[in-house]
Amino acid sequence: MRIALFVTCLADTLYPSVGRATVRLLERLGHQVEFPQGQTCCGQMHINTGYQKEALPLVRRYVETFEDCEVIVAPSGSCVGSVRHQHPMVARACGDEKLAQRAEAAGRRTFELSQLLVDVLGVDDVGAYYPHRVTYHPTCHSLRMLRVGDRPLQLLRRVEGLDLVELPDADVCCGFGGTFALKNSDTSTAMLADKMRRVLDTRAEVCSASDSSCLMHIGGGLSRLRTGVKTVHLAEILAATRAAA
Amino acid sequence: MSTYLGMPTAPKGVGHLRGSEPFPAAARRALADTQLRHNLAMATATIRAKRAAVVAEVPDWEELRAAGQAAKAGAMRHLDRYLEQLETQVQARGGTVHWATDAVAANRIVTDLVAATGSREAVKVKSMVTDEIGLNEALAAAGITAHETDLAELIIQLGHDRPSHILVPAIHRNRAEIREIFLREMAAVDPALTDDPAALAEAARLYLRRRFLAARVGISGANFAIAETGTLCVVESEGNGRMCLTLPDTLITVMGIEKVLPSWQDLAVFLQLLPRSSTGERMNPYTSMWTGVTPGDGPRQFHLVLLDNGRTAALADETGRQALHCIRCSACLNVCPVYERVGGHAYGSVYPGPIGAVLSPQLTGVEENASLPYASSLCGACYDVCPVKIDIPSVLVHLRARHVDEARKERRLPHAEAIAMAAASWVMAEPRRYSAAQRAGRLGRPLGRRGRIGQLPPLLSAWAQARDSPVPPSQTFRQWWRDEHRKPS
C-alpha cells in the first residue's frame, strides 16, 4: 500500500528518530512510504490556545498537502485527533464550509499509527524485537478522541523479548495539554508528578506512548529527576528488530 | 467568527461566579495544601469507583445519555414556550411566579417575600442557584438569617467557608476537621463529640431538628420543573430537603430557566441518569415533587422565582449553549485530573471543575472569567462521563477562541503569546519558512548538557521549572528524508 507520512512538526524538528522508525517499520511490512514535502504542522497548538484565525492557513495547508493521498499516517494520536475533529470545526468557525468538507474527507483517511497497523493493514505482529521492561501510557487523545482502545498493547504484546508491565491509572492525563503546561504549569507539574509515580512504581526501564508531545512531558520530568527511566515512542519499539539490535 | 452582542450577563458585585484572582494563582496555592490534596484524592477516587460500577450495570447507558441530551436540546430550542407553560400551570395550581433578570432582582424578590411573612429566619434546601446569586448574604443584609440544612452545606456555613464541589460542598474537609467546626460553632453540642461519622450526623440532626420545627419559610432550588403540569422536583439523599419543602407555611423556589422540561416522560430519563452519575447510587433516597399548593397539606404559599442571570446570553452561543444542559451531577468534577488536584475554590465560582470552566465564563461574560477556559489539559475525561453528553473540551476550545477574538478586537492580546502564535502561523503556512525556522531552532543545541536542556528562555521558562527539554537533533526528519531520497535520482 502507498502510505503518506504526516510526521508532525514536533517529531520532524525534535524527534526525527520517530519519523525514521515509522518509515522503517512500514517499509519492512512491505509498504511504500511517501513524505509530501508541503507538510508543516496541524495547528493544534493554535486551536487549543484560542488562535483559530492563525490556525486556518495550517488547516488549508494540511488539506492541500494530503487530500490526494489514499492513506495518511501520523505517529501522534493528538495530531490525528486535531486533523479529524478540529480541522472541520476551525474551517466552519472561519466561514469556509468548502474547506471544512475537504478537511473532513482528508481526516477520514488520516490514521494514528496503531490504528493503521491493526485496523487498516490488519497486523498485530510486526516482527519486532525489544528486550526491555516497558510500560505504556495510552495518551488522552488516542483514548478519548480516536478510541484506539488497546491496539497499541496488542502490538506490544507481540514484540519478542518485551516485558510489558501494566501502568496503573493509565488513562489519567500526564498534565501536558500543550500550552496548559505553560499557562498552568503548577497544576501540570502536579499531574506529571502523579504520572511519574505510577511509571516508577512499575519498575519499567522504558515508558512508551504513541505521542511525542506526551513523551516529551513525561520524559522531561523523568530526566529532570534523574530517574533512570527513559521514554521511547511506540514506533521506535515496533521498528526495532533483532538484526538492528 | 461570531460576535456576541446585547445579551445581559450576570452582574458584578453580587453572588459567587467570579474569583478574586486568576485560576493559575489560586491553583498554585491550593496545590500546596497537603490536607486538601489528600482529602480530594481520597474522596474523588471513592466516588469515581462507585459511579463506574453502577453505570456499568446499565446495558443501555449510552442510549440513556443520548435521550438526556436530546431532551435538554429540545427543551432549550423552545425554552420560551415551556417557561410560559410552566408559569401558567404553577399559577393555575395556586402558586405565584416571579421573573428575575439577574441575581440582584432575584435577591430582592426573595428578600421581599420573606420579609412579608414577618419571619426573620428561613431554612434552606441545598441549592446551587441560591449560592450563585449570593442569596444568604442578601438576606443577612435585610436582617434575615438563612439556615443551611444539607449536612455538607451546614458544615460550610458553620465553618465560614465556601463550597468546593457541586454535590459534596465540603469535599475538601475530612471528619476531624468537621468535628472541630461543630465543637466550635454549635452552641449546645456535646463536648465529648468524636469524629465518628454517625456521631457527627447525630449532632447535626439534633441541631437541625430545632430549626425545622421553628421554620415558617423554606427556600429551595430545583433539579427539574415539568412544564405540562407545573411540577417542581428536588432530588436529594438526606431528607433534610423534604423537611424544608413540607414543614414551613411559605415555600420559595429559585430556579434557573434552563431547568424546565416539557413532560414527565423527560423526567423519567433524568431520574435514571442523575443518581448514578452523581452519588453513584442506583436511586437517590428522596425525590420530592410538588405542584402548586394543596390545602391542608404542606406550604400554604408557594413562590417560584425564574432566574436568567446570564443564561440567555449562554443560549445565544451555538457552541456554548450545551453547557445549559448540565444537571449538576458533578461526575465531570470527580474524573477531572485538574479538579482532583486543585479543588473547587481555585475556580472562584460556585460552579467548579470542567462544567464550571464552561458555564461560569458564559454567565459572566468570557472576559470576566478568562482564565477558566484554560484551566484544563483537554484530556476529555469529563465528556466521557457527562450524562447529557456535553462536549466540554470543544466548548473550552471555543471559549478560548472567544477570549482571543475579544482581546484581538480591543487590541489587548497577551503580548508575547500573540506574537509567538502569529509568527508560528506565518512560518508554518509555508514549508520553506518552516525549514528555515527549524535550522534556526538548532541554535539551541549548545544549551544541551548530556542530551538534555535544563533551562529555557522566557515564555518557555515555566516548562523548565520541572522538566528537562530535548536537545534539537543535528538533522531534522525532512533533511534526513531528502538525503535518503536524493541518491537514486
Q: Does B36 touch chain A (CB under 8 A)?
A: no
| A13: closest chain B residue by CA | B476
- B387 and B455 belong to one structural domain: no
Distance CA B352, CA A228 (A): 38
In tens, the pLDDT along B421-454 reads 888 888 888 888 888 888 887 777 877 877 788 8
Residues 374-403 of B with CB under 8 A from A: 374-381, 383-384, 394, 397-398, 400-403
pLDDT tops 90 at residue B267: yes
Per the CB < 8 Å rule, is A144 touching B424? no
Contacts of A189 in chain B (CB under 8 A): 465-467
B477, B479, B482, B486: best to mutate for the A interface, most A CBs within 10 A:
B477
Contacts with B377 (C-beta within 8 Å, 6 or more apart), sequence order:
A140, A173, A175, A176, A177, A180, A188, A191, B337, B338
pLDDT tops 50 at residue B489: no
- B319 and B464 belong to one structural domain: no
- So what's the pLDDT on residue B487? 64
Per the CB < 8 Å rule, is A184 touching B403? no
In tens, the pLDDT along B220-260 reads 999 999 999 999 999 999 999 999 999 999 999 999 999 99
A13, A59, A73, A233: best to mutate for the B interface, most B CBs within 10 A:
A13
Across the range B190-213, mean pLDDT stands at 94
Query: What single-letter DSSP state applies at residue B249?
Result: S
- B387 and B447 belong to one structural domain: no
Contact at 8 Å (CB) between B149 and B125? Answer: yes
Nearest to A13 among B341, B422, B438 (CB): B438
State ipTM.
0.96
Domain boundary among B412, B435, B452: B412
Distance CA B328, CA B339 (A): 15
For residue B413, name the pLDDT band (cuts at 50, 70, 90): low
Instruction: State how far Cα B99 lies from the chain centre.
Output: 23
Per the CB < 8 Å rule, is A15 touching B380? no
Residue segments in chain A with a per-residue pLDDT below the cut of 50: none
Q: Does B414 touch chain A (CB under 8 A)?
A: no
- So what's the pLDDT on residue B324? 98
Residue B107 identity: N
Q: Does B459 touch chain A (CB under 8 A)?
A: yes
pLDDT tops 90 at residue B473: yes
Segments forming the whole domain that contains residue B434: 415-485
Contact at 8 Å (CB) between A87 and A21? Answer: no
CB pairs under 8 A between A and B: 202
Across the range B280-302, mean pLDDT stands at 96
- B408 and B420 belong to one structural domain: no
Contacts of B379 in chain A (CB under 8 A): 140, 144, 172-173, 177
Mean of all residue pLDDT scores within chain B: 94
Nearest to A93 among B1, B373, B431 (CB): B1
Domain boundary among B396, B412, B428: B412
- Give the closest residue to A172 by CA, choosing from B170, B44, B343, B460: B44
- B363 and B378 belong to one structural domain: yes
Per the CB < 8 Å rule, is B452 touching A52? no
For residue B419, name the pLDDT band (cuts at 50, 70, 90): confident
Instruction: Give the 3-state secondary structure of B315-369.
Output: HCCCCHHHHHHCCCCCHHHHHCHHHHHHCCHHHCCCCCHHHHHHHHHHHHCHHHH
> Nearest-CA distance from A224 to chain B in Å?
5
B397, B415, B447: best to mutate for the A interface, most A CBs within 10 A:
B397
Residues 191-210 of A with CB under 8 A from B: 191-192, 194
Range B325-351 burial, b when 16+ CB lie within 10 A, else e = bbbbbbbbbbbbbbbbbbbbbbbbbbb
Nearest to B477 among A7, A51, A185 (CB): A7
Q: Residue B23 phi/psi, 5° resolution?
A: -50, -50
Counting residues of chain B whose pLDDT is more than 70, the rounded percentage is 98
- B24 and B136 belong to one structural domain: yes
- B85 and B108 belong to one structural domain: yes
> Nearest-CA distance from B233 to chain A in Å?
34
Across the range B163-192, mean pLDDT stands at 93
Across the range B201-225, mean pLDDT stands at 95
Residues 53-72 of A with CB under 8 A from B: 53-55, 57-58, 61
User: What domain count does chain B have?
Assistant: 2
Least confident piece of the model among B322-331, B369-378, B480-489: B480-489
Residue A80 identity: V
- B399 and B442 belong to one structural domain: no
Sign of the four-CA dihedral B435, B440, B443, B448 = negative
Counting residues of chain B whose pLDDT is more than 90, the rounded percentage is 84
Per the CB < 8 Å rule, is A185 touching B465? yes
Distance CA A83, CA B471 (A): 28
Contacts of A52 in chain B (CB under 8 A): 1, 401, 404
Q: Does A38 touch chain B (CB under 8 A)?
A: yes
Residue B164 identity: S
Instruction: Give the 3-state secondary structure of A26-62.
Output: HHHCCCEEECCCCCCCCCHHHHHHCCHHHHHHHHHHH
Contacts of A54 in chain B (CB under 8 A): 421-422, 424-425
Per the CB < 8 Å rule, is A181 touching B462? yes
For residue B4, name the pLDDT band (cuts at 50, 70, 90): low
Domain boundary among B357, B383, B412: B412
- B401 and B429 belong to one structural domain: no
> Nearest-CA distance from B231 to chain A in Å?
38
Q: Report the CATH number at residue B404.
A: 3.40.50.10420
Contact at 8 Å (CB) between B146 and B135? Answer: yes
* Pairs from A87-95 (Cβ < 8 Å, separation ≥ 24): A87/A42, A87/A43, A87/A59, A87/A62, A87/A63, A89/B394, A90/A43, A90/A47, A90/A52, A90/A55, A90/A56, A90/A59, A91/A56, A91/A59, A93/A52, A93/B1, A93/B2, A93/B398, A93/B401, A94/A52, A94/A53, A94/A56, A94/B1, A95/B1
Q: Are strands A230-233 and B286-291 parallel, antiparallel or unpaired?
A: unpaired
Per the CB < 8 Å rule, is A185 touching B404? no
- B117 and B245 belong to one structural domain: yes
- So what's the pLDDT on residue B1? 46
Nearest to B401 among A23, A52, A144 (CB): A52
- B326 and B463 belong to one structural domain: no
- B255 and B168 belong to one structural domain: yes
Per the CB < 8 Å rule, is A177 touching B377? yes
- So what's the pLDDT on residue B2? 52
